[in-house]
């Protein structure tokens, strides 16, 4: 279980996160949805340990990790631009976390097979397509069975077709590994189709936390309502244009 307790992050002139309280159950898939600058990435930086300059506490399975350095937190992370180590092959990339833990790399081969890229184990990132690279990045974030996986707009750099394909892939991976996942996005469709629960974030404040269905049916306030209807309008406009 991942617990965020009253997290407040203050920049010089701006409050990036204001008293954020959140409980995520083990194995749950939670999306953090919000417009640009709403504090989504700041929140991930706090959880991952890149930013320790905040008020409040973060607990994993009831233990505070605030004073634990990033490399000891046992958290996985996927970035928008894959962040694969360019001079390592696909397999070496996935095996790297295992090497740091002095574990055998058999698991890396196994997961490479699972993401359907067994034939590409000796390829370098620049020889792979964007979709393939993101699969490798996902495999690397999962291979050491982290307690929590953070995904920072992992599909943001891909085209629509690949995005849909990888959504299914992420869903399948989550079903298989049941890792607690925090998925940051500003894409309504991604959030709705992937998540158990959605957190709507605006200006560093949580506006609503609920299942996709409840958020759609009973938005807590005007902001949530507007955010969702404007997102859905895109889809409606699109289908109207096509017809």
Are the C-beta atoms of 209 and 44 separated by less than 8 Å?
no
Q: How many residues bind other proteins (CB under 8 A)?
A: 28
Is position 157 an interface residue for other proteins (rule: CB under 8 A)?
A: no
Q: How far apart are CA 173 and CA 93, in angstroms?
A: 18
Which is closer to other proteins, CB of 92 or CB of 210? 92
Residue owning tokens 């058999």 = 106
Q: Nearest distance from residue 13's CB to other proteins, in Å?
A: 16
Is 87 a residue that touches other proteins (CB under 8 A)?
yes
Residue in 71, 129, 221, 237 binding other proteins, rule: CB under 8 A = 71
Residue 40 in the binding site for other proteins (CB under 8 A): no
140 is a contact residue toward other proteins (CB under 8 A): yes
Main-chain phi, psi angles of 87, to 5 degrees: -100, 15
| Residue 117: exposure state from Cβ atoms within 10 A (0-12, 13-18, ≥19) | buried
The Cα 38–Cα 48 span in angstroms is: 18
Yes or no: say if 178 and 28 are a contact pair by the CB < 8 Å rule: no
**Interface with other proteins by CB under 8 A: which range of 27-35, 124-132, 166-174, 207-215?**
124-132
Residues forming contacts to other proteins in the complex (CB under 8 A) are: 48-50, 69-77, 79, 81, 83, 85-87, 96-97, 100-101, 124-126, 140-141, 144
């Amino acid at each position: 279980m991942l617990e965020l307790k009253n997290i407040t992050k203050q920049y010089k002139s701006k409050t990036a996160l204001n008293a954020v309280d959140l409980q995520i159950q083990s194995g749950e898939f939670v999306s953090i949805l919000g417009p640009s600058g709403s504090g989504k990435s700041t929140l991930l930086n706090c959880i991952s340990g890149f930013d320790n300059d905040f008020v409040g506490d973060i607990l994993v399975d009831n233990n505070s990790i605030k004073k634990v350095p990033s490399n000891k937190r046992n958290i996985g992370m996927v970035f928008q631009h894959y962040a694969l180590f360019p001079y390592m092959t696909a397999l070496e990339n996935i095996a790297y976390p295992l090497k740091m833990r002095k574990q055998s790399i058999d698991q890396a081969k196994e997961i490479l097979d699972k993401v359907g890229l067994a034939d590409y184990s000796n390829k370098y990132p620049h020889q792979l397509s964007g979709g393939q690279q993101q699969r490798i990045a996902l495999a690397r974030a999962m291979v050491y069975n982290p307690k929590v996986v953070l995904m920072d707009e992992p599909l943001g750099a891909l085209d629509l077709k690949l995005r849909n394909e990888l959504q299914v892939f992420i869903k399948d991976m989550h079903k298989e590994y049941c890792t607690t996942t925090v998925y940051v996005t500003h894409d309504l469709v991604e959030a709705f189709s992937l998540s158990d629960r959605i957190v709507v974030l605006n200006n560093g404040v949580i506006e609503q936390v609920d299942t996709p269905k409840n958020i759609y049916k009973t938005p807590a306030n005007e902001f949530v309502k507007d955010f969702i209807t404007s997102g859905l309008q895109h889809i409606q406009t699109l289908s109207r244009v096509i017809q």
